[in-house]
Amino acid sequence: MTVHSRQEAREKAHALFNYADYELEVESKLRAGYDIYRMTSNYYNRICDLGNRLEVVVNEVFTNIWIEPNAPEYTATGVSFRWFH
C-alpha cells in the first residue's frame, strides 16, 4: 500500500488496528533504533515507523504502508498526479 503523507500512513495503520489503542514501546524502540508502537490489548500487534514506511503487524499479518509524497494517485478514470512544491 502506498500513501502520500505520514498523516495518511498513520490513519491507514490505525484503521488496520481496528482503531484500537496503542502506545510507544520505549524498550523496543531502544533495542531497534526506531519507534515501535504496540497495541495495548495485544503486545504482538505493532506499528514500526521505519521512516519511509510503516510496517504494521496485526495477528501475524504484515502490511507495509509506503510513504511516497510524489507517487501517482490512482483514480477510477486512470492516473492523476499530485504535484508538491
Q: What is the pLDDT of residues 73-85, one digit of tens each?
A: 655 455 444 444 3
In a domain, 80, yes or no: no
In a domain, 46, yes or no: yes
Q: Report how far residue 53's alpha carbon sits from residue 51's, in angstroms, rounded to the nearest whole number.
A: 6
Q: Out of 4-18, 41-55, 71-85, pick the least confident.
A: 71-85
Q: Residue 27 sits in which domain range? A: 2-70
Q: Cβ(4)–Cβ(69) under 8 Å?
A: yes
In a domain, 30, yes or no: yes
In a domain, 24, yes or no: yes
Confidence class for position 72, pLDDT limits 50, 70, 90: low
Number of domains in the chain: 1
In a domain, 49, yes or no: yes
In a domain, 47, yes or no: yes
In a domain, 76, yes or no: no
Could you give the C-alpha distances from 46 to 4, 20, 81, 83, in angstroms and in order? 21, 11, 32, 32
Phi and psi angles of residue 58, each rounded to the nearest 5 degrees, phi first = -130, 115
Look up cell 523496543; give the residue: 28
What predicted TM-score, i.e. pTM, was given to this entire model? 0.78
Q: Report how far residue 64's alpha carbon sits from residue 83's, in angstroms, rounded to the nearest whole number.
A: 23
In a domain, 6, yes or no: yes
